[in-house]
Amino acid sequence: MATDGVVRQHQLVHRLYVDHQGWLNGWFRRQLGCTQKAADLAQDTFVRLLAKGNGLDAIHEPRAYLHTIARGLLINHWRRKQIEQAYLDVIALQPEAVAPSPEEQALVIETLMQVDAMLARLPAKVRQAFLLSQLHGMTYATIAIELGVSERMIKKYMAQAMLHCLTLLEDE
């Protein structure tokens, strides 16, 4: 019985693919100006559909649904490019002897993406307090003044951020 549901879902994804892949690929091409990356992201959109599993037969507006998934993938793509470029800019300032290998660069970029995703899940003030403390070395008192809250609240923000980091590490 369970395999009937899986077969049905694959048929639905296949129908969506046949009906909308060309449109989706064209949309990505217009956004990116790159045929290869457009094809990759269009495929990723349908892979997301396959991973979703149930509920695909409830989609009444397939293009709107695909567009929502595609837009999220495009935002992730641009975000990754932004992080990658910032990292490569820093690497370019290093002497060639200290520059990391391409494999090391890929690992660092992947780690930076994970850190970015983790920070994005924090409330804005918690994230800001955490970054001011960890990246800028500001004291809690200075951060409190900067954010217009009490030092006690900064301690709560930092505890929340640290707990969030630890929870994510435990999940891995």
Structure tokens at 169: 């590490």
For residues 48-74, b (16+ Cβ closer than 10 Å) or e, as one string? ebeeeeeebeeeeebeebbbebbeebb
pLDDT for the residue numbered 134: 87
CB 11 within 8 A of CB 18: no
Q: Please give the Cα distance from 91 to 94 (Å, whole number).
A: 5
Give, for all 172 residues of the chain, the pLDDT tens digit: 457 777 878 788 888 899 999 999 999 999 999 999 999 999 999 888 888 767 777 788 989 999 999 999 999 899 888 988 888 888 888 777 777 888 988 888 888 888 888 888 889 999 999 989 988 889 999 999 999 999 999 999 999 988 887 777 666 5
Q: Please give the Cα distance from 21 to 77 (Å, whole number).
A: 19
The radius of gyration of the chain from alpha carbons, rounded to an integer in Å, stands at 21
pLDDT for the residue numbered 6: 75
**pTM score:** 0.66
